Amino acid sequence: LLDGNKLPVKPGAELLELSQGRHKMDLRLAGKRVNRQTIRVKAGTYAVAALTVPFGWLKIKTQPESAAIFVDDSSWGTAPVEGSLAAGTHTVTAKIEGCGQVSVSKPIKMGEKADLTLNLPGRVKAKVIPADATIYLDGEQLGTGEAEVEAAYGNHDLEFRLDGFETVSHTISVT
């Protein structure tokens, strides 16, 4: 934009005739301003302005792997994935059917190479007989008889307890 008016984007340099005074040049990507320069033109002279797009690089991994990745609601494909982004804050979302999704805001600086790992939650479902036995996951009481809860990927301690009975413990892996 030049003084609020849209100009066609062309690679390289272009000579524009401007009236004397101050002029604002904005470079926008996807509606967001990514660079601004104010130039002052004096009568009978030339002014030179250069607007560059400040980019960074983002590498995205997920746990578990193979989540669908969206950056600012645009599909980037399946994790692991990487690409360039305009400097600024971006919303990164990872989705896996049956596991739900997780979204984070990720700031990207010009020239930065950033890594991001998103951990999607898994699910643990436990059922015990007799139904009045208490279910614990990593020491946290979930309920009695039957329970279902989100859990991070990896190993967890699952216990079943009932007064008068020996505690039953299992190490489970959410994958």
User: How would you classify the pairing of strands 88-96 and 68-71?
Assistant: antiparallel
Residue 35, pLDDT score: 73
pLDDT tier for residue 12 given thresholds of 50, 70 and 90 = low
Backbone angles phi, psi at 14, to 5 degrees: -145, 140
Angle at 151 between CA 148 and CA 157, to 5 degrees: 90
Residue 76, pLDDT score: 95
Question: What is the spatial distance between Cα 148 and Cα 140, in angstroms, rounded to a whole number?
Answer: 13
Token couple for 118: 């998103």
**What tens digit of pLDDT does each residue of 15-60 get?**
778 888 898 888 776 677 767 788 888 888 877 777 666 788 999 9
**What tens digit of pLDDT does each residue of 83-129 get?**
988 888 999 999 988 777 899 999 998 878 999 999 888 889 999 99
Question: What is the spatial distance between Cα 118 and Cα 102, in angstroms, rounded to a whole number?
Answer: 7
Spatial contact of 108 and 82, defined as CB atoms under 8 Å apart: no
Residue 168, pLDDT score: 95
